């Protein structure tokens, strides 16, 4: 704003100065023209004949003229460069020193070979025009000079410039004050957001920013509060996860310690204890492996996709799954196309699903597997003919350490990490894992990758 105001003032000043300049040029040209005319066509009023003496010509002309403000009309007679005879007409010239009192300036103008010019004197600038009278030949020579003192007009332009600058300064101060107050008001809620954010800690995420009105700042506060809600939920989930993991790992430790403390000397009993302890340790190491896998799933390199023939992958998974249990395994269909996915991770997920299917079926029951594609979308599924998943469990079984209510608490069942791994792998591929009900009972788990 300061730059804009200063340039407005400077532009105004230069426009005023240019106007003055043009007016002075016009004035000088007009006066010089009038004299040239008179010199050409004028008659001596006493004789009624053309002039013969340059001094008389100048005197008669100047007697009839009235000089404008800041203007001097002077006739100079005499040898060029010498002190000329002078006839003067002028009005008050308040700025600087008038030309009729400045012999040196007069001599310089009189001697100049040009017909117009600007004379820079310490006492003030003079703009002048000159018409030399040469028609009478020989001596004495003469000249008509019109001189203008632009000082007053220039001073007026400077005055306007200074007034504009002063007004700009006041305007700048006022707007600065107003902007300060307005900016303070606008930033107040932002400051509140900042202080609230600074007060938040991992332990206390309960603080929220009060929301007033419907403006952008209110929207910011709402967004911030929503982010805090998500953070709070995420921290809660994290805490529960750590609690659950601790609990899941402590149980086998307690069991192992109990077995070892109670172990007697009977070889058969010892053998039984070793078997039970090994079982528990296997279970523990499975949980630890699953937890490590889930931790890894948060990393960007969890899934490394490559072009894979779906038919081949489905067949491989099917062959792997068959070894999991004595069931009626059916390869229902295969999608015959290429897809970009991570074959190891997809196999891992499908094996988890097949394991679950085996756990929820008995010998001889059917488990169907397959893959199909629909446009860009690929589906890989495992469908069993077991009891299926209860409606109220459908949402939670994909969460970590969550098992279905039907079998909760039964030792020997899994830790509840399998489906979380399946979901992490699906999401790593930009897809999702879903539960669908199979006609005729049973559960169908589908990996959908777009």
Ligand X SMILES: Nc1ncnc2c1ncn2[C@@H]1O[C@H](COP(=O)(O)OP(=O)(O)OP(=O)(O)O)[C@@H](O)[C@H]1O
Q: Does 420 bind Mg ion (CB under 5 A)?
A: no
CA distances from 172 to 67, 188, 203 (A): 44, 24, 49
3-state SS, 81-136, equals CCCCEEEEEECCCCCCCCHHHCHHHHHHHHHCCCCEEEECCCCCCEEEEEEEECCC
Binding of residue 418 to Mg ion (CB under 5 A) = yes
Compute the distance between CA of residue 200 and CA of residue 326 in angstroms, rounded to an integer: 55
Give me the phi and psi of 52, to 5 degrees please.
-120, -15
Q: In angstroms, give the least distance from the CB of 208 to ligand X.
A: 35
Q: Which is nearer to ligand X, 145 or 443 (CB)?
A: 443
Task: Please identify the residue of the shown chain whose CB is closest to the bound Mg ion.
Answer: 418
Choose among Mg ion, ligand X, none what residue 124 binds, the Cβ cut-off being 5 to 8 Å by kind.
none
Least Å from the CB of residue 354 to Mg ion: 10
Cβ atoms 383, 438 nearer than 8 A: yes
The 3-state DSSP class for residue 298 equals coil
Considering only residues 337 through 356, tell me which ones interact with Mg ion, judged by CB under 5 A.
Answer: 356
Which C-beta is closer to Mg ion: that of 90 or that of 356? 356
Of 228, 417, 424, 447, the residue at the interface with ligand X (CB under 6 A) is 417
Among positions 55, 75, 416, 428, the unique one binding ligand X when judged by CB under 6 A? 416
Residue 314: CB minimum distance to Mg ion, A = 20
Whether cis (ω within 30° of 0) applies to the bond prior to 140 is yes
Does the protein bind ligand X through residue 252 (CB under 6 A)? Answer: no
Residue 145: name the closest of 35, 11, 296 by CA: 35
- Residue 362 Cβ, how far from ligand X at the closest point, in Å? 12
Q: Which does 443 bind (CB under 5 to 8 A by kind): ligand X, Mg ion, none?
A: ligand X
Contact status: 404 vs Mg ion (CB under 5 A): no
The answer to whether the CB of 366 falls within 8 A of the CB of 330 is: yes
**Site stretch for ligand X (CB under 6 A), options 9-17, 90-98, 300-308, 407-415:** 407-415
Using CB under 6 A as the binding rule, the residues of this chain from 343 to 402 that contact ligand X are 356-357, 360, 384, 386, 388-389, 397
Give, in order, the Cα–Cα distances in Å from 268 to each of 263, 271, 274, 277: 11, 5, 10, 14
Shortest distance in whole angstroms from residue 276 CB to ligand X: 18
- Cα of 174 vs its chain's centroid, Å: 29
Shortest distance (Å) from residue 314 CB to ligand X: 19
Distances from the Cα of 310 to the Cαs of 84, 115, 232, 348, in angstroms? 115, 100, 41, 15
Chain contacts with Mg ion (rule: CB under 5 A): 356, 414, 418
Chain contacts with ligand X (rule: CB under 6 A): 356-357, 360, 384, 386, 388-389, 397, 403-404, 407, 413-419, 443
């Amino acid at each position: 704003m300061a730059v804009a105001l200063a340039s407005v003032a400077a532009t105004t000043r230069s426009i005023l100065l240019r106007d003055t300049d043009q007016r002075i040029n016009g004035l000088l040209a007009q006066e010089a023209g009038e004299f040239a005319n008179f010199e050409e066509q004028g008659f001596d009023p006493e004789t009624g004949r053309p002039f013969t003496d340059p001094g008389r010509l100048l005197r008669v002309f100047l007697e009839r003229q009235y000089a404008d403000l800041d203007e001097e009309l002077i006739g100079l007679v005499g040898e060029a460069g010498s002190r000329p005879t002078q006839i003067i007409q002028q009005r008050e010239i308040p700025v600087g020193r008038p030309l009729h009192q400045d012999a040196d300036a007069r001599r310089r103008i009189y001697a100049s070979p040009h017909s117009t010019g600007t004379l820079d004197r310490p006492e003030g600038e003079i703009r002048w025009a000159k018409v030399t009278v040469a028609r009478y030949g020989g001596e004495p020579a003469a000249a008509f000079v019109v001189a203008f003192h632009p000082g007053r007009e220039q001073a007026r332009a400077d005055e306007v410039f200074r007034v504009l600058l002063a007004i700009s300064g006041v305007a700048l101060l006022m707007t600065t004050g107003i902007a300060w107050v307005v900016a303070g008001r606008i930033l107040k809620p932002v400051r509140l957001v900042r202080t609230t954010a600074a007060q938040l800690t991992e332990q206390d995420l309960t603080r929220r920013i009060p929301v007033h009105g419907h403006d952008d700042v209110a929207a910011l506060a709402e967004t911030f509060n929503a982010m805090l809600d998500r953070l709070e939920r995420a921290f809660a989930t994290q805490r529960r996860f750590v609690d659950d993991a601790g609990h899941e790992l402590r149980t086998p430790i307690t069991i192992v310690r109990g077995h070892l403390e109670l172990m007697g000397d009977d070889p058969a009993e010892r053998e039984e204890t070793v078997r039970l302890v090994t079982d528990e340790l296997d279970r523990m190491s499975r949980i630890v492996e699953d937890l490590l896998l889930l931790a890894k799933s948060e990393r960007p390199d969890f899934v490394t996709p490559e072009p894979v023939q779906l038919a081949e992958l489905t067949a491989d998974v099917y062959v792997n799954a068959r070894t999991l249990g004595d069931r009626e395994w059916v390869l229902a269909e295969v999608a015959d196309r290429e897809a970009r996915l991570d074959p190891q991770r997809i196999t891992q997920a499908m094996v988890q699903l097949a394991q679950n299917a085996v756990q929820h079926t008995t010998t001889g029951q059917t488990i169907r597997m397959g893959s199909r594609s629909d446009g860009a979308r690929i589906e890989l599924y495992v469908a069993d003919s077991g009891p299926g998943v209860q409606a109220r469990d459908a949402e939670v079984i994909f969460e970590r350490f969550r098992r279905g209510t039907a079998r909760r608490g039964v030792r020997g069942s899994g830790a509840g990490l399998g489906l979380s791994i399946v979901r992490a792998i699906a999401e790593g591929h930009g897809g999702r894992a879903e539960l669908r009900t199979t006609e005729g009972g049973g559960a169908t788990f589908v990996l959908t990758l777009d």
